[in-house]
Amino acid sequence: MDAPVLEIHRLRGKKNYSFAYDHKRGVLVARVPYTSSEAEVRGVIRAHDRAIHNLIEKGKRVSEEPFYLLGKMKERPEDEEGVRREVLSGYLQGRVKELARYARLYGPIEVKIRDMKTRYGVNDFRKRKLTFALSLSSYSPHVIDSVILHELTHFYVQNHGEDFYKRLYALCPDYQRCRKALIKHEYAYGNDQ
């Protein structure tokens, strides 16, 4: 593999190496311990040649994929993450309040957005805080609502047992189909409802 254009971020307190590919700029971003030299960073890249190559190829494929925002195909913006964050935040702020009332939950609920890879939402019921994945911004409002209702249901039942799903399906009868849309990346599912 040819040596990629490399941007090194040396961080105090960081103990390991992490890499991300910025497909817009064509740059491999390395976040490394503060004392790491460029030679050490390049040595780690060589040692993990296949994984770095796969990371770069995946980044290139993502940049060529269609861009969806709230389930509708759009032209990819310059500041993709900023646009996603702004649109999703705007949607969630009002919708969480509406759906909380629908679920008979009252009082303030804090809403956060994070770039999460393995989850779409997290409920910290003790702090009354819901955190949603930035990737939800691609999906239709119908699918996003199913995730909101899932997380709101955790205010009543903290596990995923029978009582949880009974309550969730009462709020969102289409939950199973929405879940499949999330798994299969069917961004537009529910836009026609």
Q: How far from the centroid of its chain's Cα atoms is residue 13's Cα?
A: 26
**In this structure, is residue 190 part of a structural domain?**
no
**In this structure, is residue 188 part of a structural domain?**
no
List all residues 6 or more positions away from 109 whose beta carbon is below 8 Å from its beta carbon.
96, 97, 100, 128, 129, 130
Q: What pLDDT score was predicted for residue 67?
A: 86
Mean pLDDT split into 10-residue runs, the chain, 193 residues:
76 89 81 92 89 80 76 86 94 96 95 92 95 96 97 95 96 96 91 66
Q: What pLDDT score was predicted for residue 80?
A: 85
Are both 34 and 111 inside the same structural domain?
Answer: no
Are both 80 and 131 inside the same structural domain?
Answer: yes
Q: What pLDDT score was predicted for residue 1?
A: 47
**In this structure, is residue 151 part of a structural domain?**
yes
Q: How many angstroms separate the CA atoms of 53 and 21, rounded?
A: 10
Q: How many angstroms separate the CA atoms of 49 and 34, rounded?
A: 22
**In this structure, is residue 191 part of a structural domain?**
no
In terms of residue numbers, what domain contains 20?
Answer: 6-64
Q: How many angstroms separate the CA atoms of 14 and 144, rounded?
A: 34
* CATH number of the domain encompassing residue 154: 3.30.2010.10
Q: How many angstroms separate the CA atoms of 26 and 24, rounded?
A: 6
Q: And the tokens for 172?
A: 């969102």
Listed residues 20, 49, 64: the one ending a domain? 64
Q: What pLDDT score was predicted for residue 148?
A: 98
